[in-house]
Amino acid sequence: MTYSTAKSTSRRVATAFTLIEAVMSILVVGLMLVAVLNTLGASKLSQMRNTEQSLGPMLAQDLMTEILNQHYMEPATTGTFGLEGENATVRTDWDDVDDYDGWSSTPPQDRNGTDLPGMDGWGRKVTVTWADAADLNSTSGSANGIKRIDVTVTHNGQPITTLSSLRTSGWPDKTPVVNVLLVVIDSASLTSQEQLRQTLMESWGFVVEPITASDSQTAFDDAAARNDVVYVCEAISSGDLNTKLLDATIGVVCEEPYLDDEFGFTDTFELYDKKKVYIVDNSHFITEGFAVDKLEILSSNSELSRIIGGLGGGVDVLAQTDHDDEHVLVVIETGRGLFGGGVAAGRRVQLPWGGGSFDGSLLNDDGKLLMKRAIAWAADKEEALDVP
């Protein structure tokens, strides 16, 4: 019995010691887990703050650059403070800095009113005031030639950064920007070829507003009034656009050869595959700087368009096919005669390329330069060619 009692006591002691070890282990693991979770939480918080510190100023600078590139005052009038009849939600036709006063968007939007991707929780707002000449951090109750612009970026409702700039009446306005009305199949969903053209124009500093070819005459009249030039993509249906731009007083640059007759160039054309044209007139702004010679405008053959019918009385030929005398790049100055009668209400350009299989990505640097110069000339803003 004594042996048995001793053995039983030994077992109880051993069991008690094991429980203590288990409790201590749980405590240690718990403390370590808390430490790990705290470390992870601090890391995530630090990562979020780093993102805010880098992305916040970028969003502010992006919008501030857009604002500072506008006129000091409404160009057409002496101007009131704020919008002067422009669309209150889409910034494409805002043209002076105080148009932005009071504007805000969550999430941030581009000039066309499209939400920037991946920006949930972020927001931007703008305040424009008259600055006090004696204390630029204070506001003035009346016009004095100095406007203060404040762009504030928020994240999850909390201010992240505020960027402030001053715009004065003595600051010369920038080189004129060309506002392009881009005629596409569906402005709500651009094709890859249409997007390629928009991106290219925006890389030149042009401001692009897409419009659906089948939109109403009223929609085209309103859009033409706030833009400098129209660019017609080749993929649209000529029947959708028809004569909606015939009387437009702004310039028109056209890729679609099936509109040759509507715009008064000719009544007959044909498509062919080549990559070169022959410059026959380099005295015109569009072809200035190119030699009177063959010019490669594509990196490989694609669908071009040549005129094989008669020309309107006011049509000037700048380039022909590289193997015969058929015309591929033609222009009409405002007020000059159209094929079939009448005169051009604005400058008109028919580009050398067109047809459903034409690939705009094949345009080389010379082809892109022809396109850029054609847009600037048709817009009557040749000086805008120097915009980066």
Whole-angstrom distance, CA of residue 260 vs CA of residue 248? 16
CB 235 within 8 A of CB 253: no
Would the pLDDT of 2 be above 60?
A: no
CB 215 within 8 A of CB 181: no
- What does the pLDDT look like over 61-115, one tens digit per residue? 889 988 988 888 776 454 568 887 788 888 888 888 899 999 999 999 988 888 8
Would the pLDDT of 35 be above 50?
A: yes
Return the pLDDT at 143.
81
Whole-angstrom distance, CA of residue 65 vs CA of residue 327? 43
Picking from 148, 141, 142, 149, the residue whose alpha carbon sits closest to that of residue 125 is 149
Picking from 169, 141, 180, 206, the residue whose alpha carbon sits closest to that of residue 71 is 169
Q: Which range, of 40-49, 74-83, 159-168, 183-192, averages the lowest pLDDT?
A: 40-49
Rounded to two decimals, the pTM is 0.59
- What does the pLDDT look like over 341-371, one tens digit per residue? 999 999 999 999 988 889 999 999 999 999 9
- What does the pLDDT look like over 134-143, one tens digit per residue? 888 888 888 8
CB 210 within 8 A of CB 182: yes
Return the pLDDT at 201.
92
Return the pLDDT at 112.
82
Return the pLDDT at 117.
86
State both tokens at 36.
């790990």
State both tokens at 167.
């715009």
